[in-house]
């Protein structure tokens, strides 16, 4: 079941996802990861509310498109999208990272409806996504697999083994999305292990490459829908994003990679993310 939300509706969905991320960061048992979650809110809104074929009433539907959140620590964004899409009661969002909760600090497919694969060990997600994509092809199912990668984890050798294998297998039902916000947990990627030339790397492995503004909803939707139709080889979308996007004091401040906001910071963030009718 594909939703055909308009671009305006998708922007609103992304705003609500960001508000939920801030709620989760404030209420979670221990620090969550607001910075890397906020940077993918627009991408997730486009996927869940426009591009992906999925049925919240039947999370295990065999014909669904799949999502692998390789950067599993950013799961508050996925939890918010799943709740907004109707996979589970929004009240669950107040329980993230708590003992006994079905929403843990990394996504768990055995606990959370709508999670297609358990993730969080960085560097594994693209291999997992490729395996799912090839299995779906063997089963003759016309399903897409989307893998959201952190830019820091592209420093892992296993990523590039999967890039090479996906190309060799012509896995055109696989789309990688790089959240290129130029930060990893310990600092800037440009200072730790520079990733450029990013586009040329993927092109050299014979991937179809799109490069976008990861916060421009029209551009996001256009390239995701093109990727889903593309045949013959896998696609990567290099999404230029801002870590902490949407909250002024979090944007491009890597201290918000994993941190709990104070009450004053929470109130400021929620004011900044308030809609016109609020």
Written as one string, the DSSP assignment of 219-278 is: HHHHHHHHHHH--SS-EEEEEE--TTTTSTTTTT-GGGGS-PPPHHHHHHHHHHT--TT-
| pLDDT the model gives residue 159 | 98
Q: Name 278's Cβ contacts closer than 8 Å, sequence gap at least 6.
A: none
pTM: 0.96
- pLDDT at residue number 277: 46
Average pLDDT, the chain: 96
Tokens 């200072």 appear where? 191
The full set of domain ranges for the chain reads 7-272
| Mean pLDDT, rounded, for 247-262 | 96
Indicate the SS3 state at residue 68. strand
**Mean pLDDT, residues 223-232 taken together:** 97
Closest CA to 233 of 166, 180, 162, 157: 166
Q: Give the tens place of pLDDT for each residue, 182-218.
A: 999 999 999 999 999 999 999 999 999 999 999 999 9
**Which tens digits make up the pLDDT trace of 42-78?**
999 999 999 999 999 999 999 999 999 999 999 999 9
User: Taking the domain 7-272, which CATH number applies?
Assistant: 3.40.50.970
* Number of separate helices (H) and strands (E) present in the chain: 10, 7
Q: What is the pLDDT of residues 133-186, one digit of tens each?
A: 999 999 999 999 999 999 999 999 999 999 999 999 999 999 999 999 999 999
């Amino acid at each position: 079941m594909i939703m055909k939300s308009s671009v305006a509706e998708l922007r609103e969905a992304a705003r609500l996802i960001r508000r939920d991320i801030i709620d989760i960061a404030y209420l979670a048992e221990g620090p969550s990861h607001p910075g890397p979650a906020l940077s993918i809110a627009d991408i997730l809104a486009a996927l869940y509310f426009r591009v992906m074929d999925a049925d919240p009433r039947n999370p295990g539907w065999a014909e669904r498109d799949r999502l692998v959140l390789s950067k599993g620590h950013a799961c508050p964004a996925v939890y918010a999208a799943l709740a907004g899409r109707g996979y589970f009661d929004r009240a669950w969002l107040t329980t993230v990272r708590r003992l006994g909760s079905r929403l843990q600090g990394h996504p768990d497919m055995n606990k959370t409806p709508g999670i297609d694969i358990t993730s969080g060990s960085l560097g594994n997600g693209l291999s997992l996504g490729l395996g799912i994509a090839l299995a779906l092809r063997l089963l003759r199912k016309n399903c897409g697999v989307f893998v959201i990668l952190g830019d820091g984890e592209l420093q892992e050798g296993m990523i590039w083994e999967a890039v090479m294998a996906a190309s060799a297998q012509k896995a055109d039902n696989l789309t990688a999305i790089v959240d290129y916000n130029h930060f990893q947990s310990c600092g800037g990627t440009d200072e730790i292990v520079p990733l450029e030339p990013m586009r040329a790397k993927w092109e050299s492995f014979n991937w179809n490459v799109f490069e976008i503004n990861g916060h421009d909803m029209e551009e996001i939707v256009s390239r995701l829908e093109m990727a889903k139709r593309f045949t013959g080889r896998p696609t990567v979308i290099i999404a230029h994003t801002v870590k902490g996007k949407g909250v002024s004091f979090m944007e491009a401040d890597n201290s918000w990679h994993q941190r709990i906001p104070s009450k004053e910071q929470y109130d400021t963030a929620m004011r900044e993310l308030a809609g016109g009718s609020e």
